[in-house]
Chain A
Amino acid sequence: MLTLLVLTPLLGAVVISLVPARRRELQLPLGIALSAAPLGVAGAVFVSFEKGEGSFQMVEKMVWWEPWGISWHLGVDGISLGLVALTTLLFPLSLAASDAITHRRKAFVMAMLVLETGLIGTFLALDLVLFFVFFEVILVPMYLIIGIWGGERRVYAAVKFFIYTAVGSALLLAAIIALAVMHASQSVEGALSFDYLALLDLEISSTAQMWLFGAFALAFAIKVPLFPFHTWLPDAHVEAPTAGSVLLAGVLLKLGTYGLLRFNLTLFPEATVSLVPVLAVLAVVGIIYGAVVAIVQPDLKKLVAYSSVSHLGFVVLGIFALTSAGLQGAVIQNVNHGLTTGALFLLVGMLYDRRHTKKIADFGGLASRVPMMAGFFLFMAFASIGLPGLNGFVGEFLVLVGSFPSLPAYAVVAAFGVVLAAIYMLWAYQRVFTGPLTGMANRKLVDLSPKETAILSPLAALVLLLGLYPGILLDRTAPSVEAILDRIEQTTDYQVPSPGRLEDVFASGSGDGEG
């Protein structure tokens, strides 16, 4: 089933390639229909997923290249499940929102479908080479999407995106090979292996763990992006077409946090425990820094992009909190951010399609002209701010409350990001949508079409559902998260903090007496 899930979009790309180039009217609807197919498969995966099970499910394994121990090994657990579902959901929606793409539409749809295969594959791969292949496959269509269908400085942005991520990948590859070689030196037969499950049994010295952790973490930190590796993101977002932005923020960034969670924590537990302060500092700095920078951005897309830096800081903080609540929060915040930021980018895109500008200063008082759009924007803005009852809160709250026992000082500083989020989001909303209606062009705006409403509504519904009943995801996540924590506890002398007197919390945590 998982193989099917990975390959369906690729098959779709092949189908699209067979459509004659002059049948333009077919390409987009067909693309939407084809990308809906994996959504169906993902739905089936979601339904048949065993709730109480923390290990990998629906595992499929086929030998790919025996001598090097590479296999086509797929599996899903509570950490990847939500992300896979999110990926498959966002693709039909963002394709549906791509009416504005008229130039080389066929190639665009194909690039999108290839991208989908890459993303799903990355989340499901249980073989490091397979993972790496998918991880890199993503770069190509995304590079094309930004570079061909982007804005004015698209080439600059695309090249920056590509090179920046490729630099990280190079180290990742080196570290992956190092792991396989270590496996060869430790296993009885001396065989290489890139299998994630096999590599889990490796015994890696502390020093080696540090280096390998660093290589993995750098690759993923660039992808997240963690401060200070974030500057490719605003550029890429501003130049990317709407669909590109949606997927970039919605799914691509999650590869970083997913990688940290999946590989860094389990493969290098000792290094994880000792490097927690470094990553927590970067995460917290990212939370505050992203928010502070977002406040004064003149470009709506850039503002949302910097808000992503801030929100993903929460995810990273949750991961390195190394508590059950923190990890669960990280996982669900991943999905939440994809939904809300995806929706925000869709809205900005819809605004851009109408006005051909993203500058906040060009707008003003739109709410009286386009109330539906304003309503959706405000809804998503509040989800992003972390209003309880909407999904953003669930993730942030779990992360904050979960990270407090282990990292009290960091959690307190991070909590301040919540205040800043309200400032930048509401100020932007105020300048764009409220006040008197300004400018002739704004007077002629039309509100959301039924189609656009249909694109946004599922996202809004999910935002509300996950906000009120996150159990739908948390129930499936919790066992996997516990498994990771168990592993860290077994392989290191780390103890997940349990509730207790505050004096103990502050004494044990790395917090330095924040009061």
Chain B
Amino acid sequence: MIELPTEALWLVIAFPLGGALLLHFAGRWLGEPLAGYLASAASLAALAVAAVAAVPFFTGEGHPSQSLLWEWMPAVGASFEISWDPLSALMTLVVTGVGSLIHIYSVGYMHGDPRFARFFTYLNLFTASMLTLVLAGNYAMLFVGWELVGLCSYLLISFWFTRPSAASAGKKAFVVNRIGDFGFLIALMLIFSTFGTLSYTGVFDRAAQELSGWAPTIIGLMLAAGAVGKSAQIPLYVWLPDAMEGPTPVSALIHAATMVTAGVYVIARSAPIFELAPVASGVVAAVGAITALWAATIAIGQSDIKRVLAYSTISQLGYMFLAVGATAYVAGVFHLMTHAFFKALLFLAAGSVIHAMGGRQDMEEMGGLRKAMPVTFVTMGVGVVAIAGIPPLAGFWSKDEILSVVFNQGGWYTALWLIGLITALLTAFYMFRQFVMVFLGKPRWPEGVTPHESPRSMTVPLVILAILSVAGGLVNTPFRLGLEHFLEPSFEGVRLGHPPEGVGLVLVLAALAVGAGVVGAAMAFFAYHRPPEAWRRFQSGFGKLWGWWENAYGVDDAYGAMLVTPGRRLSEQTAFGVDMKVVDGAVNGVAWLVQATGRLIRPAQSGLVRQYGLWFGLGLVALLIWILVRGVA
């Protein structure tokens, strides 16, 4: 067995980065589909290196290690430094694994796009950035990856930039993320001024001694603020639904499987700090639970196939937040992984559907696609079952673990557990609703649309992801806590939340979770496996509530009215009122004053010599008198 030294891990980042550079300069020349293959190869190469390097952790012989690439900003303890431990290994494998599949899928999906090569440039750049994020050995480098994935997200959301909605969605995503980053930056400042370094080892080793009082809570909350932005939690989730303007593989890769989970990763990574800040953890958990429920209800009311998935993503991320907030870091990361599988699967399947429908995304216009797209039908079915939390698929294991850990925390966490349980029901409902609306029933396709199964390059990744969605949960079952064991070195010294001890209680909890899923699924099936008129009647039964869900509670409009419009007005007032009139007015006012004085005394310059002479004489006499009165020595 080859042992790969940590020093060689820069290769993991270098492959996709090199791919991005190559495609940036030579992409047009390479053309379609070579550019896509090269990009996929780069991603696969990174996966291969990461897999080899991760072997010691699987065999249980590995130890976390660091490798310094180069100094970046020594004054603030920032360097390019790779940290290799089970947590980053797992994240790397998920990112490169799912990422590679999505690369391959995109070769088919982006077929015929004039900016085919450019798309893969961005995709590769994203992979490199995400790997920078997860491999970082200190908060500064983490922030590099953190922001670069934001950049790639911006570039990819507004990939079809001629559509104004895409351009503005990209900007919105970046700006909203930046608001979260504001908190993150403050967290970095706090960490540096406490520890004098930003490196993980330096911070975590001394966290318990150096942090006291409210300091860890503040740091934790600020880190969480950043995470809330990136992971699209309340109140900063509004960018994610709009991000669906990007090509669907992007939605799958960035806005479901990897980038949005960065927030969860950061909180898990900072476990030693959150350990000291139960309040911050509680806030994270509460935000997660509320977001989960909030987004799930919105997802119910959506008819755009991708928007359902977008809100579903927000909701699932809420689960992860709930988990890490309840100190169930392993459960959170576990759900992160399984979610990456099934949500990528769902998005890619949705992409396949959109592809088949000629770009249409409205589920009202679909229906009966089962026959036309058998592979997509089956694989998406797997994904739906998985996310609904029905055993033995991946979603069940991770979601059940989260819920049971939260329940076991007791106290007010029980309320969060209840929210989680309701959300599980809603999740099953809206996912099955989508599934039924898209694939079952009678076709409601518009004229001229003839759906067909997608090409091989798209269906193969679907199948692989479906297999992972089925089997992925088995790495960490209550019977064999493989993942927890695997991640142990990363959470050394951190008290992890655990499920209840008694087997009976565990089973009851699991039964409740599964029951919620089944009930939700059944309700969706009965409500929607009927003609459209019937389901519309069903929807109108909710009264105003449905309208709110459809409108996502009008949060976008509220933000617009409360923040954007007043913000712009403030800016206008400042620019054209204060700056032009007051500040510049003062400057020009001084100039005007000088001019006015000049105008005032100008008549004295009459041009009449005799008058000047008189003034001269009078002045002279006045001076003389003054001298005489004062008396010159």
Q: Which residues of A contact B (CB under 8 A)?
A: 160, 163-164, 227-228, 230-232, 289, 292-293, 295-297, 324-325, 328-329, 365, 367-368, 382, 387-389, 393-394, 397-398, 400-402, 404-405, 408, 411-412, 415-416, 418-419, 422-423, 426-427, 429-430, 433-437, 468-471, 474, 478, 497-503, 505, 515
Contact between A388 and B144 (Cβ–Cβ < 8 Å)?
yes
B168 touches A430 (CB 8 A): yes
Contact yes or no, B171 A397, CB < 8 A: no
Say whether, besides A164-B587, A292-B574, A470 and B72 are in contact (CB < 8 Å): yes
B151 on interface, CB distance cutoff 8 Å: yes
A297 and chain B: residue at smallest CB distance? B575
* Pairwise interchain contact A401-B76, C-beta atoms closer than 8 A: yes
**With A and B bound together, what is the CA distance between A502 and B147 in angstroms?**
26
Inter-chain contacts of B167 with A (CB < 8 A): 430, 434-435
Q: Determine the distance from Cα of A367 to Cα of B167 in the docked complex, in whole angstroms.
A: 11
Q: With A398-B73, A471-B72, A502-B215 in contact, is A293–B571 under 8 Å at CB?
A: yes
A293 and B164 within 8 A (CB): no
Given A231-B584, A423-B175: A501 in contact with B162 (beta carbons within 8 A):
no
A401 partner, pick from B72, B144, B182, B188, beta carbons under 8 A? B188
Q: Report the minimum CB–CB distance from B196 to chain A (whole Å).
A: 3
The docked-state distance in angstroms from the alpha carbon of A37 to that of B148 is 38
* Inter-subunit contact B193/A296 (CB<8 Å): no
Query: Is B570 among interface residues, defined by CB-CB distance under 8 A?
Result: yes
A365: chain B residues within 8 A (beta carbon): 161-162
Assess the A387–B151 pair: CB atoms within 8 A.
Answer: yes
A389 to B78 alpha-carbon distance, docked (Å): 12
Cβ of A291 to closest chain B Cβ, rounded Å:
9
Instruction: Give the docked Cα–Cα distance between A126 and B64 (Å).
Output: 52
Closest residue of B by beta carbon distance from A515:
B218
Residues of B within 8 A of A398 (CB): 73, 75-76
What is the minimal beta-carbon distance from B591 to any residue of chain A, in angstroms? Answer: 8
Write the chain A residue with the least CB distance to B193.
A405
- One digit per residue, 1 when the CB lies within 8 angstroms of any chain A CB and 0 when it does not, for chain B 144-159 equals 1011100100100010
Q: Which residues of B contact A293 (CB under 8 A)?
A: 571, 574-575, 579
Shortest distance from the beta carbon of A330 to any chain B beta carbon, whole Å: 12
Q: Closest CB of chain B to A475's CB: distance in Å?
A: 9
In the complex, what's the smallest C-beta–C-beta distance from A222 to chain B, in angstroms? 10
CA distance A398 to B77 in the complex (A): 10
- Would you list 9 pairs from A and B whose C-beta atoms are within 8 A, ordered by A residue? A296-B568, A388-B140, A397-B188, A398-B73, A468-B80, A469-B70, A499-B195, A499-B197, A502-B211
Q: Is B583 an interface residue (CB 8 A)?
A: yes
Is the Cβ of B158 less than 8 Å from the Cβ of A471? no
Contact residues in B for A387 (Cβ distance below 8 Å): 147-148, 151
| B210 at the A interface (CB under 8 A) | yes
16 A-B pairs besides A389-B147, A505-B194 with CB distance below 8 A are A289-B574, A296-B571, A325-B75, A368-B162, A397-B185, A404-B193, A415-B182, A419-B182, A422-B174, A426-B175, A430-B171, A434-B162, A434-B166, A499-B195, A501-B215, A503-B213
A365 to B572, CA, bound (A): 24
Distance in Å from the Cβ of B426 to the closest Cβ of chain A? 33
Is there an interface contact between B193 and A499, defined as CB atoms closer than 8 Å?
yes
9 nearest A-B residue pairs (beta carbon): A499-B196, A434-B167, A404-B189, A231-B584, A388-B144, A325-B75, A434-B161, A502-B215, A405-B193
CA distance A377 to B169 in the complex (A): 19
Asked if A416 and B182 sit within 8 Å, CB to CB, the answer is yes
User: In the bound complex, do residue B190 and residue A435 qualify as a contact, i.e. CB atoms below 8 Å apart?
Assistant: no
CB-defined contacts of A422 to chain B, threshold 8 Å: 174-175, 178
- Determine if B212 is an interface residue (Cβ-Cβ < 8 Å): yes
Q: How far is the CB of A78 from chain B (nearest CB, A)?
A: 13
Q: Does B179 sit at the interface, judged by CB under 8 A?
A: yes
With an 8 A cutoff between CB atoms, is B181 at the interface?
A: yes
| A419-B178 in contact (CB<8A) | yes
B242 to chain A, nearest CB (A): 13
Residue in chain B with minimal CB distance to A230: B583
- The residues of B that contact A388 with a CB separation of less than 8 Å are 140, 143-144, 146-148
Tell me the bound Cα distance from A426 to B153 in angstroms: 14
Q: Is B75's CB under 8 angstroms from A478's CB?
A: yes
Q: Which residues of A contact B80 (CB under 8 A)?
A: 468
A434→B166 CA distance, assembly (Å): 9
Q: Shortest Cβ distance from A325 into chain B, in angstroms?
A: 4
Q: How far is the CB of B219 from chain A (nearest CB, A)?
A: 8
On whether the beta carbons of B174 and A426 are closer than 8 Å, the reply is yes
Q: Which residues of A contact B171 (CB under 8 A)?
A: 426-427, 429-430
A382-B151, A419-B175, A419-B182 as given contacts; A503 in contact with B70, CB under 8 Å: no
| CB <8 Å contact, B178 and A402 | no
Question: Cβ of B164 and Cβ of A436 under 8 Å apart?
Answer: yes
* CA–CA, A225 and B271, complex, Å: 44
Which of A412, A430, A469, A474 meets B186, CB within 8 Å?
A412
Q: Is B61 an interface residue (CB 8 A)?
A: no
Closest-by-CB residue of A relative to B221 is A515
Q: B161 to A367, Cβ gap below 8 A? A: yes
Determine if B71 is an interface residue (Cβ-Cβ < 8 Å): yes
Are the CB atoms of B193 and A505 closer together than 8 Å? yes
Are the C-beta atoms of B189 and A400 separated by less than 8 Å? yes
Asked if B359 is at the interface of the complex by the 8 Å CB criterion, the answer is no
Contacts A474-B73, A501-B212 hold; do A295 and B571 have CB atoms under 8 A apart? yes
Taking CB atoms, residues of chain A closer than 8 Å to B140 are 388, 397
Q: How far is the CA of A328 from the CA of B194 in the complex (A)?
A: 20
Candidates B71, B175, B218, B572; contact of A502 at CB < 8 Å: B218
* Interface contact A325-B76, CB-CB below 8 Å: yes
Q: How far is the CA of A419 from the CA of B189 in the complex (A)?
A: 16
Least CB distance from A485 to B in Å reads 11
Q: Which residue from chain B places its CB closest to the CB of A403 in the assembled complex?
A: B189
In the complex, what's the smallest C-beta–C-beta distance from A323 to chain B, in angstroms? 8
B57 at the interface (CB under 8 A from A): no
Residues of B with C-beta under 8 A to A408: 189, 193
Query: Is B74 an interface residue, CB under 8 A from the partner?
Result: yes
Q: How far is the CB of B187 from chain A (nearest CB, A)?
A: 10
Closest A residue, CB atoms, query B75: A325
CB distance from A3 to the nearest CB of B (A): 33
Please name the residue on chain A nearest to B132 by beta carbon: A389
- Indicate which residue in A295, A434, A436, A500 contacts B158 across the interface (CB closer than 8 Å): A434
Q: Pick from B78, B161, B215, B574: contact of A435, CB below 8 A.
A: B161
Query: What is the minimal beta-carbon distance from A166 to any residue of chain B, in angstroms?
Result: 13
Question: Assuming A292-B571, A402-B76, A404-B189, is B178 touching A471 (CB within 8 A)?
Answer: no
A437 surroundings in chain B (CB, below 8 A) = 162
Q: Does B553 contact A (CB under 8 A)?
A: no
B75 and A402: CB pair below 8 A? yes
Contacting A at CB under 8 A, from B185-242, are: 185-186, 188-190, 192-197, 210-215, 218
Whether A436 and B162, one on each chain, are in contact in the complex, defined by CB atoms closer than 8 angstroms, is yes
Question: Which residues on the B side are within 8 Å of A419 (C-beta)?
Answer: 175, 178-179, 181-182
Distance (whole angstroms) from the CB of B577 to the closest CB of chain A: 10
- Of chain A, the residue at the smallest CB distance from B24 is A375
